[in-house]
Amino acid sequence: MKHEISIEFFPPQTPEGMEKLRATWARLAELKPTFFSVTYGAGGSTRERTFSVVKEIVAGGFAAAPHLSCIGSTRDSIREILNEYKAAGIRRTVALRGDLPSGMAEAGEFRHANELVEFIRSETGDWFSIEVAAYPEWHPQARSPQDDLAAFARKVRAGANSAITQYFYNADAYFNFVDEATALGVNVPIVPGIMPIAGFTKLARFSDACGAEMPRWMRKKFESYGDDVDSIRAFGLDIVTELCERLLKGGAPGLHFYSMNQARLTTEICRRLG
């Protein structure tokens, strides 16, 4: 059975970064993903760069899903962006609350992602297929798992077509989340977000900050490799491939790879998955 995959990029800050990204997506395009998604900086800080990456992907014959975030956005600015995307023939978007950039006090006119989803629907009807975020291990700012699940259900009821999760390394967290969401009447596909492991220290820090659990046995094993990059990479590939296998066997509708603008690990995981 062929499973759908999607792959995420971030807009590079330099012309060299852009050249590297072109080479990366030429390689990843061979995997025939359903779409490439492109992130959007805190407070909309990468709007132009996001759009230029998206336009190139579309020009290359692939579907692209630009991210849109509430934070720092007004109805007018979002309306303008949606019109640009429609004019470019883009049919998919990822609607997020987004992070408040440091030093920015104002959240903007939309406080939560469900308000953004509602607005996109009211402005553009069924033009866009809308993806929203899901947190199998709960959003770090959620007051409780129940609150977080209710917020997720609100986004779906507002008109989302499917969801992409925060990355995780514990398959049970994902299956448990899907069961609980289904019990609340949520029936859209919930696609697991997959973070290939290129290194340990940075990922451990990042995981602590965003609420993605790195199981103790994994941490200990990674720590034991010290600076041995090859062992870290090999162990990381084994772990993530096994995770993907378990998710797909358990009924996950596909996989969304956080590529970090690199091709090698995502390509290798997909090769192993056949």
Report the SS3 class of residue 266: helix
84 catalytic residue (yes or no): no
Could you give the CA distance from residue 40 to residue 46 in angstroms, rounded to a whole number? Answer: 6
Could you give the CA distance from residue 195 to residue 75 in angstroms, rounded to a whole number? Answer: 32
DSSP 166-196: EE-S-HHHHHHHHHHHHHTT--S-EEEEE--
Angle value at C-alpha 46, between 42 and 50, nearest 5 degrees: 120
Could you give the CA distance from residue 87 to residue 106 in angstroms, rounded to a whole number? Answer: 30
Name the catalytic one among 4, 8, 242, 268. Answer: 8
Look at phi and psi of residue 138 and say left if phi exceeds 0, alpha if psi is from -120 to 50, else beta.
left
Indicate which residues carry an active-site annotation.
Answer: 8
